[in-house]
Amino acid sequence: MPKVTDEMIAAVRETKTKTERVFDGHFLHIDCDTVTTASGLVRSREYIRHPGASVIIALFDDETILMEFQWRQPCEKAFWELPAGKLDPNEKASVCARRELEEETGYQADQWYYLGRIHNAIGYSDEHLEFFLAKGLKAGDRHLDEGECLEVYRLPFKEVKEMTLNGEITDVKTIIGVYWLEKYLKGEMAAQAC
């Protein structure tokens, strides 16, 4: 892979000249930037502002993982997903991961590892996801947000992996998390204790 140089960035950089807030929602916001492209054209760029989120891969010693099954209104269907949740203002991703695991599943973990970051919708959002591996799990009580409805299942990792391959799981964060967990279990991906 080539090393990114200043010249490479200059060839594609867009310079923002104005930002207009088009929509201000509860946690999502839509901005429209006026930019000048590297070739000198003036264009508009609409995108969603998102605070970011943490994704948790809760792994048991027997290589089962926690999965959630919940309704997602934008797609009008229920999805299998890894536990995840958005960051609160000024919240560290590692703190968010611990909070969300307990709130949504009732579990706490003794061991936490950082796996990495993705930008899951770069064409229309600044959203980023931070992935964490949780081990040494202990069951407890869930504390769902008001109106939050989801079911928690403990599934064999091999089964979840097959669900990503056969199209039963289509959620991108879950597919990436399963891929990274497979790499971690094979010793092909390092995880940083946190």
Among residues 76, 146, 151, 188, the one annotated as catalytic is: 146
71, 73, 106, 107, 132 from 142: Cα distances, Å: 18, 22, 4, 8, 19
Residue 52 backbone zone (phi > 0: left; psi -120 to 50: alpha; other: beta): left
- Pairwise CA distance, residues 124 & 84, whole Å: 21
CA–CA distance, 132 with 118 (Å, rounded to integer): 12
Length of the chain: 194
Structure token pair of residue 27: 């946690």
Residue 188 annotated among the catalytic residues of the structure? no
Q: How far apart are CA 109 and CA 65, in angstroms?
A: 13
Which residues form the catalytic set? 146
